[in-house]
Every structure is written in C-alpha cells, then in structure tokens.
C-alpha cells in the first residue's frame, strides 16, 4: 500500500496534503492499483472530523490510520515519524509520502532515517515504477529552487518522498470511497518526545499564511527603491483584497518583514494573479511564484526574466505605473 | 560555555542562468559563481551569537572539494574561529554520506577535547534541497534535533529554539547537546569587515579526508525544465497603461465594482 501523511486544520485536509493524496493515487494506479492509505495524527477519544473523512474519501483513500496518543498533542517530528514507521510496518507500506511542507519534510527525514532508506524531497513526477517488486522507483524532483530537475532512483524496500507544492492539482478519484478508520496507538519512547513544541504563540494575522492563501499577491522587489517605496504596492494589494509579497533582496535590506518574502527561502505561492513590480525574476524568487496562474510584470527592463516569463507586462517605473493603476481602480469604483 | 559547530555547503549562485555539465551530473556554475545557502548565512550568524553570548567557540565545517575553502574563509570573516574541510568527492556523496562525515568530525573533536553543545546547519541546501542532513546527523550522534528554526539561544543546559509553525510561532527546548536546522528569517547575517577578512586569510584550515564508503545520492541525471517561449503580452508603457491593466483585472474577475 501507499501511505500518505496528511496534515489538517480546522477546515479539513490542507490543500497541499490533498495534492499529495492525488499524487499518491496516481502512483498507486501506476503500480497496478495498490491501496491508498492516509495517516493522520488526531486527539485521543475523538473521531477524525467528518470533513476530513469526506475529503479523504474523495481522494479514494481506502483506510485512514488515525494516530492517537496524549503525548502527540504537542508536535514532535520524531514522535510523528515513530507513528509513521509503525504504520508502515504494520500495514506494509511500499511508499511513504507527504506534502513538501516544513512539517512534511521534517517528519519524512526522521522516517527515512529510522527506516534506513533514502528520501526524495520535492518530487514532481514519477518516471518509472518498475514491473516487479523490488524494482527501483525513479522520480523527478525539483532542485536548485526548481530551476533544475533531478531524476533520482529510490531502490529501497520502502520509498520515502515528499511531494513539491503544486506538483499536481488536487483532483477527486473517479470513484469516491468511505475510508475505514483504524485507530492506532504508536510505540513512543521518551527520546521521541525530547524535541517537541513547548509553547505556541499567537498567530500573527498578517504572517505568511495570508500570503500563501491570497487570491491576488502584489509583489515588489529592489525596484521599490527604499523601505518607503512600498506605499503604492500596499495600496494596490488593499484595493484588490490581496497580500503583499516581496523578493529576498527586499527582506535582506530590511525594507519589509521576512514573512512577506516569496521565493526559495520564503513562501511558495500559487495565487490566481501575481503582480510582480520591480522584480527581475531571479531563480530565488521564481522558485516561489512560478505556480501563479497569471503573472503581470511591471518592470523597466523588457528583457528581465520576470517580464519574459509573465503572461502580461507593463514596461516602466513601478512608482509611476502602480499609483496610476490605483487611481484608475478608484475612479472606476467611484 | 557552548562550543558551536556550524555546517555549510558551497552551492551555485542563484542570480543568473543555470547550466548543467554535459553528462547531466552537476550544475555548471561558470556564469553564476559559488556562494552559501541563505539558510546557512543565518546559521553562521546564530553560531557566532551563541558562541559570543556563552563565551564559547564557533567552528565552521564543510564537506566537499578544496574549492569550498573559499566559503569556509567567508564564514571565518563573519566571526567563526576555526574551520574544517572534510574532503570528499561531491559527485559521489549524498545526504547520508554528508551526515556520516560530519558525525565523524564531531566525534573526533570530542575525543580531542572539543565537545559541540550545539551543531547548526541550514534547513536545506540551496542546490540539492534534500531536507534531511540535519536529521540524519542527529540520529548518527544520538542527539535531539529540530528543523525550521529562525532563532535560538543556549540557556544553561537547554537550547531554546523558535520557529514558525502552522498554528503560530513555536518554541522548542532541547537538552544540550543538540542539532538545530536554521531557516532564513530570524536573524540578519552580518557583513564581513575588512579586519574580519584579513584575519580569515590567516586561519589554518583543518583538512581531513571523509572516512566513509559513500552511499551516494541516487541521482540518475539532471535536466533543465523545458524553456517556454515568451508569450508575454505587453499592455503598454508607463502610467498610460493603467486603463489596460484595470481592464485586465476586471476581465480576470479581480475587481469588485
């Protein structure tokens, strides 16, 4: 079977975990229709929420291993991995995968180390499944911030891989299922619980969560010129009900906070529209915004990578163009 | 007093066009040069902060070719006091090997009298993006580990580490010795001073050979994503393009009227 670690929140299964499930289902089908299982960490005495079960059913999940233990209330990657390894052994997983989130990659790194197998991070495709048991799984994954693809062979008994964000669109299975819920108590040691969260602070309302879920992101880079050069960009994002995203140079210069950074070492976004103002489009930034459905670039350089890769562009200084767009939006509203 | 080891990697720069070697086995960095991962720049900063705050030392280490001495000297210029090059054929090693090679040095230094209370690494390398060397290293050393950390301090026998979790800012408290993987965003890396660069040139770098039988990375080959021909539609020049932009926003359903 193929086991997918799913992350959930109050709204159900995270979109990135739904993507991982869709990816896992595609792999299961290519492997001849092996069952797709989900692994979810829950609270003792509570059933998995109905919305989670419905979403897992839409993805064609046969069984959900509902991992429950009082000691898992506070997150510990080692403890989650212990549970995933237990499920993998007891249910006979040939592949263990998760979304390539910070938590997904961390838990899988522990899992692969405990299983003494390789791990492929940020996988975007399956190249070969192999006709026989024991044949290597060959995957393609993103490296160098997505600027390069690596074909990698996973030749171990269990393949461990994380799925890059937006590698696939979440898609419902042809036939929905009613997942069997299997309560599961993992075997945990004290060592598994040493590195766990001791405090969780108040979530900052405008932190990167808003950026990654925004339908429109207005980005700005070095072309903003200074810390005072973002007023019009912020106004445009407000007029469109979106979020502000910036390039790494902007945060390195201290012009804007790091949680607004889009890129390889910032947030990876996939809005319906990304308006990139004064951003050249270097690898570091492109790694974070390439999944936007539509890109509008505003740049003085018609040959900048961001312009040539965009769907639409306006050539010129963002400090002249963005205020004009804001004025036009406001006048049409009036 | 906490002696800190910070592990770095020489990686291709991310500011220009990426090329590959003819055999598809490595990135050809002739046009982009070599640098450090952004996460590791922050790890160096944290290493010097922790060492300075506790009266300990900061040692920088890399696993790779002798060319990586350039990056070791960069870290020395930023405040690290010692540097170690673990020489290995970069084409033949993967994350399992790198973790094993670092663990060997940690054990050897411990036997020689330097016990690292804190080992810092970048969360993931800018080139290979494996997301696993810190965790594999921690298991090899039987130490607790946490990844995705923005800031950390050593307070008595505890490493107090802060990161951003899905439900808000998270705090971890790990007993020393521990391994921490650093993510950019919590500290601003300092710029090297002229004095720092001068001093860095004079530091003798410890060079050891990796005593490992490489497992490898599983790499079959590298390829570049197919380049899409530009299909950009230029809406206009300067402020005069604003009406066309707003027309587009309306067409895309981004404007409520």
CB-closest option in B95, B127, B230 to A144? B127
Q: Which of residues 177-206 of B touch A (CB under 8 A)?
A: 178, 183-186, 188
DSSP string, A189-255: -GGGGSSBEEEE-PPPTTSHHHHHH-SEEEEE-GGG-STTTTHHHHHHHHHTT-EEEE-HHHHHTTS
Q: Residue B85 pLDDT more than 60?
A: yes
Closest-CA residue of chain A to B94: A118
Residues of chain A with C-beta less than 8 angstroms from the C-beta of B175: 194
CB atoms within 10 A of CB A72: 23
A203 in any annotated domain: no
The whole-number average pLDDT for the span A107-125 is: 97
Q: Output the domain CATH number for residue B121.
A: 3.40.50.620
As a whole number, the mean pLDDT across chain B is 94
DSSP string, B81-116: -EEEEEE--GGG--HHHHHHHHHHHHHHHHHTT--E
The whole-number average pLDDT for the span B228-244 is: 94
**CA-to-CA distance for B147 and B123, rounded, in angstroms?**
6
Q: Which of residues 75-114 of B touch A (CB under 8 A)?
A: 94-96
B154 in any annotated domain: yes
The whole-number average pLDDT for the span B88-111 is: 96
Predicted confidence at residue B23, as pLDDT, reads: 94
Q: Residue A133 pLDDT more than 70?
A: no
Same domain, yes or no, for A185 and A221? no
Cβ of A203 within 8 Å of Cβ of B39? The answer is no
Predicted confidence at residue B257, as pLDDT, reads: 58
**CA-to-CA distance for A158 and A3, rounded, in angstroms?**
11
The torsion defined by the Cα of B132, A161, B15 and B97, in degrees rounded to 10, comes to 40
Cβ of A265 within 8 Å of Cβ of B135? The answer is no
Query: Nearest C-alpha of chain B: how many angstroms from A191?
Result: 8
B163 in any annotated domain: yes
Closest-CA residue of chain A to B128: A143
**Tally of structural domains, chain B:** 1
Same domain, yes or no, for A28 and A124? yes
B124 in any annotated domain: yes
Cβ of B167 within 8 Å of Cβ of A146? The answer is no
Query: Nearest C-alpha of chain B: how many angstroms from A175?
Result: 32
Predicted confidence at residue A16, as pLDDT, reads: 93
Q: Which of residues 144-173 of B touch A (CB under 8 A)?
A: 144-148, 164-173
Query: Nearest C-alpha of chain A: how many angstroms from B38?
Result: 7
Beta-bridge mates of residue A220: A246, A277
Cβ of B131 within 8 Å of Cβ of A307? The answer is no
| A18-22, A159-163, A305-309, B165-169, range with the lowest pLDDT | B165-169
Closest-CA residue of chain B to A156: B218
Same domain, yes or no, for A147 and A13? yes
Same domain, yes or no, for A131 and A269? no
Cβ of A324 within 8 Å of Cβ of B239? The answer is yes
**CA-to-CA distance for A318 and A305, rounded, in angstroms?**
16
Q: Crossing angle, helix A102-115 and helix A15-30, to 10 degrees? A: 40
Distances (CA, A) of B79 to A22, A85, B6, B152, B191: 47, 41, 12, 17, 10
Cβ of A109 within 8 Å of Cβ of B136? The answer is yes
- Interface A-B, measured as beta-carbon pairs within 8 A, has a size of 261
Tokens of A27: 């792999």
**CA-to-CA distance for B190 and B44, rounded, in angstroms?**
9
B58 in any annotated domain: yes
Confidence band, pLDDT 50/70/90 cuts, at residue A207: low
CB-closest option in B12, B37, B254 to A273? B254
Residue from B95, B129, B189, B225 whose CB has the most chain A CBs within 10 Å, to mutate: B129
Predicted confidence at residue B228, as pLDDT, reads: 82
**CA-to-CA distance for A320 and A116, rounded, in angstroms?**
57
As a whole number, the mean pLDDT across chain A is 92
Q: Residue A194 pLDDT more than 70?
A: yes
B104 in any annotated domain: yes
Q: Are the beta carbons of B31 and B19 closer than 8 angstroms?
A: yes
Residues of chain A with C-beta less than 8 angstroms from the C-beta of B214: none
**CA-to-CA distance for B16 and A94, rounded, in angstroms?**
40
Predicted confidence at residue B31, as pLDDT, reads: 81
Q: Name which residue leads in pLDDT, A190 or B31.
A: A190
A202 in any annotated domain: no
Query: Nearest C-alpha of chain A: how many angstroms from B154?
Result: 15
Percentage, residues of chain A above pLDDT 70:
97
Q: Residue A131 pLDDT more than 70?
A: no
Question: Domain span at residue B98?
Answer: 3-209
A115 in any annotated domain: yes
Confidence band, pLDDT 50/70/90 cuts, at residue A287: confident
Residues of chain B with C-beta less than 8 angstroms from the C-beta of A301: none
**CA-to-CA distance for A322 and A236, rounded, in angstroms?**
7
Report the predicted TM-score, pTM, of the whole model to 2 decimal places: 0.92
**CA-to-CA distance for A213 and B6, rounded, in angstroms?**
34
Confidence band, pLDDT 50/70/90 cuts, at residue A206: low
The whole-number average pLDDT for the span B49-56 is: 97
A200 in any annotated domain: no
Predicted confidence at residue A205, as pLDDT, reads: 62
Closest-CA residue of chain A to B148: A102
Closest-CA residue of chain B to A110: B135
Chain centre distance of CA B169: 22
Confidence band, pLDDT 50/70/90 cuts, at residue A209: low
Distances (CA, A) of B43 to A101, A119, A208, B39: 21, 24, 21, 6
**Tally of structural domains, chain A:** 2
**CA-to-CA distance for B82 and B48, rounded, in angstroms?**
12
Same domain, yes or no, for A213 and A324? yes
Domain boundary among A125, A159, A193: A193
A199 in any annotated domain: no
Residues of chain B with C-beta less than 8 angstroms from the C-beta of A240: 249, 254-255
Question: Domain span at residue A146?
Answer: 2-193
Q: Output the domain CATH number for residue A137.
A: 3.40.50.620
Q: Residue A100 pLDDT more than 60?
A: yes
Percentage, residues of chain B above pLDDT 90:
83
Query: Nearest C-alpha of chain B: how many angstroms from A92?
Result: 23
Domain boundary among A138, A160, A193: A193
The whole-number average pLDDT for the span B209-225 is: 93
Residues of chain B with C-beta less than 8 angstroms from the C-beta of A162: 131
Query: Nearest C-alpha of chain A: how many angstroms from B139?
Result: 8
Same domain, yes or no, for A161 and A14? yes
A293 in any annotated domain: yes
DSSP string, A120-153: EEEEEEEEE--SSTTPPEEEEEEEGGGTEEEEEE
Residues of chain A with C-beta less than 8 angstroms from the C-beta of B100: none
Predicted confidence at residue B14, as pLDDT, reads: 75
- Tell me if chain A has a CB within 8 Å of the CB of B35: no
* Residue-wise pLDDT tens digits, A219-272: 999 989 999 999 999 999 999 999 999 998 899 888 998 889 998 888 889 899
Same domain, yes or no, for A188 and A212? no
* Residue-wise pLDDT tens digits, A17-58: 999 999 999 999 998 889 999 999 998 888 899 999 999 999
Q: Output the domain CATH number for residue A314.
A: 3.40.50.1220
| A41-50, A310-319, B138-147, B174-183, range with the lowest pLDDT | A41-50
Cβ of B237 within 8 Å of Cβ of A251? The answer is no
Confidence band, pLDDT 50/70/90 cuts, at residue A334: confident
A326 in any annotated domain: yes
Residues of chain B with C-beta less than 8 angstroms from the C-beta of A293: none
Same domain, yes or no, for A148 and A18? yes
B75 in any annotated domain: yes
Confidence band, pLDDT 50/70/90 cuts, at residue A1: very high
Bridge-based pairing of strands A294-299 and B58-64 is unpaired
Same domain, yes or no, for A250 and A161? no
Same domain, yes or no, for A158 and A230? no
Cβ of A201 within 8 Å of Cβ of B171? The answer is yes
Residues of chain A with C-beta less than 8 angstroms from the C-beta of B173: 198
């Amino acid at each position: 079977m193929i086991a997918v670690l799913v992350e959930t929140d109050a709204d159900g299964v995270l979109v990135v975990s739904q993507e991982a499930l869709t990816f896992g289902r595609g792999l299961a089908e290519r492997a001849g229709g092996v069952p797709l299982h989900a692994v979810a960490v829950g609270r003792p005495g509570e059933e998995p929420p109905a919305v989670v079960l419905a979403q897992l059913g839409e993805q064609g999940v046969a069984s959900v291993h509902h991992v429950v233990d009082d000691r898992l209330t506070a997150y510990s990657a080692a403890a989650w991995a212990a549970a995933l390894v237990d499920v993998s052994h007891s249910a006979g997983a040939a592949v263990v995968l998760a979304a390539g989130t910070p938590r997904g990659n961390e838990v899988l790194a522990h899992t692969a180390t405990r299983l003494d197998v390789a791990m492929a991070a940020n996988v975007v495709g399956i190249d070969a499944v192999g006709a026989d048991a024991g044949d290597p799984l060959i995957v393609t994954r993103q490296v160098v911030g997505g600027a390069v693809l690596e074909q990698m062979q996973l030749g171990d008994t269990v393949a461990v891989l994380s799925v890059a964000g937006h590698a696939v669109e979440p898609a419902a299975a042809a036939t929905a299922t009613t997942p069997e819920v299997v309560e599961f108590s993992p075997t945990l040691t004290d060592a598994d619980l040493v590195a766990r969260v001791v405090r969780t602070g108040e979530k900052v309302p405008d932190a990167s969560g808003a950026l990654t879920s925004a339908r429109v992101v207005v980005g700005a880079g070095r072309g903003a010129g200074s810390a005072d050069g973002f007023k019009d960009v912020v106004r445009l994002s407000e007029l469109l009900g979106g979020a502000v995203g910036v390039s790494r140079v902007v945060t390195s210069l201290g012009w804007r906070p790091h949680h607004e950074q889009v890129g390889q070492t910032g947030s990876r976004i996939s809005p319906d529209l990304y308006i990139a103002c004064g951003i050249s489009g270097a690898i570091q930034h492109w790694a974070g915004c390439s999944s936007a459905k539509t890109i509008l670039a505003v740049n003085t350089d018609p040959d900048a990578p961001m312009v040539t890769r965009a769907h639409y562009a306006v050539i010129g200084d963002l400090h002249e163009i963005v205020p004009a767009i804001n004025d036009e939006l406001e006048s049409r509203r009036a | 007093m906490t002696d800190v080891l910070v592990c770095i990697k020489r990686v291709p720069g991310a500011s220009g066009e990426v090329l590959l070697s003819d055999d598809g086995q490595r990135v050809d960095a002739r046009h982009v040069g070599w640098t450090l991962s952004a996460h590791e720049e922050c790890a160096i900063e944290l290493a010097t902060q922790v060492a300075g705050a506790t009266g300990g030392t900061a040692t920088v280490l890399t696993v790779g070719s002798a060319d990586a001495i350039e990056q070791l000297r960069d870290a020395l210029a930023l405040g690290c006091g010692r540097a170690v090059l673990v020489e290995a054929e970069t084409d033949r090693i993967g994350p399992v090997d790198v973790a094993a090679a670092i663990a060997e040095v940690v054990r050897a230094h411990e036997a020689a009298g330097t016990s690292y209370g804190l080992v810092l690494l970048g969360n993931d390398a800018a080139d290979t993006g494996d997301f696993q060397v810190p965790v594999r290293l921690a298991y090899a050393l039987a130490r607790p580990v946490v990844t995705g950390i923005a800031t950390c301090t050593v307070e008595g026998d505890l490493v107090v580490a802060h990161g951003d979790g899905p439900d808000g800012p998270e705090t971890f408290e790990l007993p020393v010795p521990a391994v921490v993987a650093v993510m950019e965003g919590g500290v601003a890396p300092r710029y090297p001073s002229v004095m720092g660069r001068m001093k860095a040139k004079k530091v003798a770098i410890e060079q050891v050979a990796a005593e490992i039988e490489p497992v490898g990375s599983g790499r079959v080959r590298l390829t570049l994503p197919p380049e899409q021909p530009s299909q950009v539609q230029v809406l206009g020049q300067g402020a005069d393009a604003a009406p066309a932009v707003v027309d587009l926003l309306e067409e895309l359903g981004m404007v409520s009227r």
